[in-house]
Structure 1
Amino acid sequence: MTTTVETCTIGNYLCNRLHQMGVTHIFGVPGDFSLKFCKLLEGDGRIQFVGTTREDTAGFAADGFARRHQGIGIVLVTHGVGALSTVNPIAGANAESSPVLVISGAPGLRERRENQLIHHNFGQNEAQKRIFENFTCCAVSLNDLSTAFKQIDLVLEKVWNNKKPGYLEIPRDLIEKEMPLHFDYEAFCSFEPSDTETLDEALSETVSLLKSAKTPAILAGVEIHRFGIQEDLLQLVEHSKIPVAATIMGKTVIDECHPSYLGIYQGKVGGEAVRQTIENADVLVTLGVMFTDINLGMFTARLNPNKMIRAHQGEVTIKHHRFPHITLCDFIRGLTRGLQETPSAGSSRKKPSGENGNLSHDKKKLDPLASLTTSGIIDILNTRMTPQISVVCDTGDCLFAAAELKVPDRSSFFASAFYTTMGFAVPAGLGVQCASPNVRLVILVGDGAFQMTGTELSTYKKLGFTPVVIIINNGGYETERVILDGAFNDIENWNYGEVCNLLQYGKGATTECVGDFEEALDRALADKTQMHVIDAVVSESSQGMRRLAEEIGRRI
């Protein structure tokens, strides 16, 4: 009796696995080592290949897709010149725990065995893989047909579970190779369960502390986003009535108009009311917080570890006691149950003076003839924010000013808020828009960052997307000016209002005063049929950026 063995090509297997993980778009630039997989995607039809203007912007787009989709982002490039151009965005994804997979085409196995000098090569066969090993959780080069499927599963599992980038190198002569399917793998889109006894012990101690607390508070961070547990955080806040602040990396982990939301905590760099509540809490629960310099206002934060409960994916620390093998989701859900049984002392606390006071959407009286400022742009946006708007923000003045931007829909603010790479916003917005085509996308980007990656607006045109792009034009690198001034921080001014004419797509405007900006913004938000680019010439940077930059300046 003959047994039929089911087979599959390596390319089709990878495509099937990505589709199972919810991938709908792959970003990249085609090259001869990746062309076969591009062609496979085109013929398969389930996953759209989005060709970008550069490989680094493809990396940012994949990052934006992963953050909005809360799944995995994919960048597809060729060997050497393509893959190495993604080093910066992938290093950033690693720093900010964004699950982006680099798929790099490579010279074929036969070509490598013959030791030919092949274009795009720059070293030994494993040279490129060794580079990516430095900032990925798993780097795999397929060089053994018999283990190819398991190697693909390995890197996908690591990327998804660890929320870190990965690297997969596929020789071009393997894409169409057929191999017997293996059926001994398990579904990998699941986390290791918490150790029950350890979890119960950590919860018992935490609940006891919170029930006796007079002024408890919660500080929520980026892991809430990455592990998709925003709803669990909301349930905890609503049942416990404990006030919650977010780090700048964790911005929009909760609806920023929620009555228990305090604002962004950044030590002395941030708002004083938020700082007082967080730093004076008798029990502070930090959930998924990365204690970076930017999150902590260049380490101006004054957080007492003896009053802290720190929960991360995989571990909870209570004062100086560590509880390993606990998932963040299980810990938050357990807290919600524990605090439901007996109301905490914090549930009847009075709201601190000034808390949530800057969340009003009432229009401030602004002089329409006044010069435009970065803070003024944020004030104007705050009067027009809706749950349908998602904001992608570049680094620099626009990022630190945006700490005061109130976004009413959770998981709707995206920025490189730790790695702080310039040029993130425009291409990352492309990935956000691909993941959620129906959101109204607003991009905040400085003129310096726009000159780096603004060409990606061409891809918006190709896909028919209609974002509102606000270019905060201060004539150079404003953050660096505050840190250390000099002519080296100046850049050539572009006529950004004419960008749409260059692309033959969308409508542009140049504004220098409050009234003109308000009119341009209102036209843009009301018009969903075309892209709008607003050149917002500002006369003054934000206080938040200046405070932070001055702290940095003290260290150089």
Structure 2
Amino acid sequence: MTQPLARVLIHALADHGAREVFGIPGDFALPFFRHLERCGRLPLYTLSHEPGVGFAADAAARWHGGLGVACVTYGAGALNMVNPIAGAFSEKSQVVVISGGPGVSEGHRGGHDGLLLHHQAKTLDSQLQVFREITCDQTRLDDPQRAPVEIARVLRSCREQSRPVYIEIPRDQVDVPCDPVAALPPSPVEAEAVAACADEVMARLDRAERPVLLVGVEVRRFDLEARVGDLARRLGIPVATTFMGRGLLSQEPVPSIGTYMGLAGCPEISRVVEESDALLMLGVLLSDTNFGVSGERIDLRAAMLAADRAVRVGFHAYPDIPLADLIDALLDRAPVEPSVCAAIPAPALPRDLVADDAPVHPRDIAAAVNDLFDRAGPMPIAADMGDCLFTAMDMRHTPLVAPGYYATMGFGVPAGLGICAASGRRPLVLVGDGAFQMTGWELGVCARHGWAPLVVVFNNASWEMLRTFQPDSGFNDLEVWQFARLAEALGGRGHRATTRAQLRAALDAAHADESCFQLVEVMLPRGAISDTLARFVGAIKGANRPMGTR
């Protein structure tokens, strides 16, 4: 039976795996928001600014291994989300952008009676053209007869490519009758090619003396952690995650050795990965951050890489091989029973914080969090870009979302809210003072939605990661904002720590109170950076390659 086009789209989103919608209404989107609210199929969470909407939807998509949905208005709303969606594209996150748009009749007239239409940039198509650059598929639902096929195609693209897509719904089409969406079958895969590829991979692993499995973000994006964990146990080989894949397999009993970061990482982990004679990389993005700006330390000609629906085994290339199909084929060929892996101890993490009157160093934050997790159990982590993310590398292995490659600031707080909505769990949010100034105000919506994240603000009154690349600059200085005092005005509770003793007490008090969001502001001396960031900066300077956040 036909339904209004808006309802057809909402049901298609849910049928393809969406579980919630994040958004901010606007006049072009109001008709669609009305259907979202009345339909009730997907819960709607409104935030305060469109960048937060994009980051929250991205985090929810990462958590689910499925669709995250961001719904905004035309022009002033959607163009505010260009940066978050560009990040989702770079980091392969399944975000569906739903934008209200000018009505079909308005487009035919070039606006109201020939006048330019408000929110319009260069042309009425300018927004669509912008999103063509940062999404893998797009459609404008201006023909209700074609809409079901268009919706099905775009949502399949989002799932198969694990990248954002863009759907624009003209405001005068929202209530037009439309047939339901029939999901398209998966794109065809050549079974013989998958089999040949899996045979070659297994042959290389069988011949190897030092095989290693390196897992990356696609394993999470396609919801493959359980299957990859099973494969790792049955192969009995050491497992490392990439920087972007930190937190992967944290709930799987696998022989994990930690996170590989090249020159920026732990030397023991780097040695195991780089000396492997059969390095199998599953879902790994070949980026400078993942490889600690030292990609040449791994001979990709001798490695095996499965990513972007293709597999490269040395000089052999297998196109159109989805990661899930390869993993299933490898499982068919792997031993049925788990194999014993030679013990390779993971590096010890900071623990047992000395709760004295000494000033706080980033490694103290890691130790305090690890102590908290040991006492009370782990929490999922949402980290912003900056030293807060590098400090997270010294925290207990737990599910983590972060902009490890695109490196945008402002991700952490709204991503934490995305985890709240997507999981129902309480996340730990790690954010620097500079990034908090961008999107930290989204905490003000927590009371409305019943969320109580625990937020740790690294406050050194500085864009400190940028300062590491240009120490003599004054433009990286920030004012000392009283974030702990601001928490109450936003509906939460604030704690400030300037010593290690105060840090432990603040974390304990914040963790114990789930009545509202808790903000722990940790005052850090300028120049105090984590050991991981120090190695990362050293690696970049050694390679003479400028890099930073933003």
Is 1:44–2:32 an aligned residue pair? Answer: no
Q: 1:264 to 1:286 in 2, by over 3 A?
A: same
Counterpart mapping for 1:421-440 below 5 A: 421-437=408-424, 439-440=425-426
Aligned to 2:482: 495
Q: CA 1:114–1:205 in structure 2 vs 1: closer, same or farther (change >3 Å)?
A: closer
Shift in Å, 1:366: 2.1
Structure 1's 127 and 341: CA in aligned 2 closer, same or farther, altered over 3 A?
same
Aligned to 2:109: 114
1:508 to 462, 471, 494: 494
Aligned CA RMSD, in angstroms, stands at: 2.0
State the AA in 2 paired with 1:170: I
Q: Deviations over 1:475-532 (max 9, x none)?
A: 11111100112110011111111122212x2221110111111111112222222221
One-letter code aligned to 1:171: P
Contact 2:135 2:165 in 1 (8 A): yes
Equivalent residues in 2 for 1:459-478, closer than 5 Å: 459-478=445-464
Cα separation, 2, equivalents of 1:15 and 1:75: 12
Match of 1:389 among 376, 379, 386: 379
Which amino acid in the other structure matches residue 502 of structure 1?
A: A
Distance 2:538 2:347 in 1: 26
Q: Which of the residues 263, 274, 278 maps onto 1:279? A: 274
Equivalence for 2:147? 148
Give the Cα separation in 1 of the matches to 2:148 and 2:336: 48
Counterpart Cα distance in 1 of 2:324 and 2:377: 25
Question: Shift in Å at residue 326 of structure 1?
Answer: 2.1
Question: Which residue in the other structure is 1:379 paired with?
Answer: 367
Amino acid paired to 2:474: A
Residue pair 2:262, 2:297 contacting (<8 A) in 1 also:
yes
The two structures have a TM-score, normalised by structure 1, of 0.92
1:187 and 2:183 correspond = yes
SS at match of 1:157: helix
Contact between 1:429 and 1:441, CA under 8 Å: does it hold in 2? yes
- Amino acid in structure 2 at the alignment position of 1:542: S
Give the 5 Å matches for 1:154-165: 154-165=153-164
2:531 is aligned to: 543
How far did residue 7 of structure 1 move? 2.1
Partner of residue 166, structure 1? 165
How far apart, CA to CA, are the structure 2 residues paired with 1:134 and 1:155? 15
From 396, 404, 429, give the equivalent of 1:443: 429
Structure 2 equivalent of residue 238 of structure 1 = 233
4+ long deviations beyond 4 Å: 256-259
Structure 1 window deviating more from structure 2 (145-154 vs 273-282): it is 145-154
Structure 1 position 358 matched with structure 2 position 348: yes
Encode CA deviations 1:134-191: one digit per residue, 9 max, x unaligned.
Answer: 0101121222233122222222221122111111111111101113x26xx6534x64
State how far apart, in whole Å, the 2-side matches of 1:241 and 1:161 are: 29
Cα distance in 2 for partners of 1:529, 1:365 equals 27
* Paired residue type of 2:281: T
Match in the other structure for 2:78: 83
**Separation in structure 2 between the aligned mates of residue 338 and residue 322 of structure 1, nearest angstrom:** 20
- AA aligned to 2:62 is R
User: Residue type matched to 1:236 in 2?
Assistant: L
Could you say if the C-alpha distance between residues 55 and 380 of structure 1 is closer, same or farther in structure 2, counting changes exceeding 3 Å?
same
Q: In structure 2, do the counterparts of structure 1 residues 152 and 192 end up closer, same or farther at CA, with 3 Å as the change threshold? A: closer
1:546 deviates by: 2.1
Stretch of structure 1 that moved more, 147-156 or 468-477: 147-156
Instruction: Give the whole-Å Cα distance in 2 for the aligned partners of 1:357 and 1:552.
Output: 23
Is the contact made by 2:417 and 2:453 (CA closer than 8 Å) also made in structure 1? no
User: Which consecutive residues of structure 2, in runs of 5 or more, have no partner in the other structure?
Assistant: none
Deviations 1:65-115 (A, max 9, x none): 111122111111111111100000000000000011111111111122222
Using the alignment, how far apart are the partners of 2:337 and 2:83 within structure 1?
49
Secondary structure class of the residue paired with 1:483: coil
**Whole-angstrom CA distance in 2 between matches of 1:445 and 1:478:** 12
Give yes or no for contact 2:384–2:403 (8 Å, CA) kept in 1: yes
Aligned residue in 2 for 1:92: 87
Q: Give 5+ residue unaligned stretches, structure 1.
A: 1-5
Distance change in 2, residues 1:383/1:77 (3 Å)? same
Q: Indicate if the aligned counterparts of 1:136 and 1:167 stay in contact, CA closer than 8 A.
A: yes
Offset of residue 244 of structure 1: 0.5
Counterpart Cα distance in 2 of 1:45 and 1:511: 43
Q: 1:3 maps to which residue?
A: none
CA distance in 1, matches of 2:104, 2:309: 39
Q: Return the alpha-carbon distance in structure 1 between the equivalents of residues 188 and 501 of structure 2.
A: 55
Do 1:218 and 1:242's aligned partners in 2 also have CA atoms closer than 8 Å?
yes
SS of the equivalent of 1:384 reads: helix
Q: What amino acid is the match of 1:391? A: I
1:522 counterpart residue number: 508
Amino acid at match of 2:128: K
Size of the aligned set, in residue pairs, is 535
The 3-state SS of whatever aligns with 1:160 is helix
- Sequence identity of aligned pairs in percent? 34
Change (3 A) 1:257 1:152: closer
